[in-house]
Amino acid sequence: MNKPLLIASILAVYVMGYYGFGAIDAYAQYLGNVGDQGETGARTLEEQLELARRAVEAVKLNPQAGSGTPILAADGVFGAVAVSVAIFGGIAVVLFYKGKQGKYAAQGRG
């Protein structure tokens, strides 16, 4: 790659990043939106307390459901890790095998 193309590419990525981050607005999740007249919008403190009370009651009524985080299930954390290892490990094995048999592989080095 020649030097002017490399510099232009780096400059383009820098400019896109500089102007791109300004287009993304991030807002904190406040409890309720207070208007000019003092009224509140969605997610007031009272609504959040009621939702939390309902969640605690639901857990007490269904103790067999656990915490809701199935660690050892196929759709849980370890299941996802196992699936990822199987997929990417399989791809790596195929690439290593193909690399050893290629016509550009160094002869006599393994």
pLDDT score for 8: 93
Q: Nearest to residue 31, comparing CAs of 41, 39, 23? A: 41
If phi over 0 gives left and psi between -120 and 50 gives alpha, with beta otherwise, what is residue 66? left
Candidate ranges 23-27, 71-75, 80-84, 105-109; pick with highest mean pLDDT: 80-84
Tell me the residue type at 68: G
58 has a pLDDT exceeding 80:
yes
Mean pLDDT (the chain) is 77
Percentage of residues in the chain having pLDDT higher than 90:
21
Is residue 106 very low, low, confident or very high in pLDDT (cuts 50, 70, 90)? low
SS3 content of the chain, % helix, strand, coil (to 5): 60, 0, 40
66 has a pLDDT exceeding 80:
no
Cα distances (Å, whole numbers) of residue 75 to 67, 79, 83, 85, 87:
15, 6, 10, 14, 15
Summarised one tens digit per residue, pLDDT across range 2-39 is 898 999 999 999 988 888 766 666 665 655 556 666 56
Provide the residue ranges of all domains of the chain, joining segments of one domain with +.
69-102
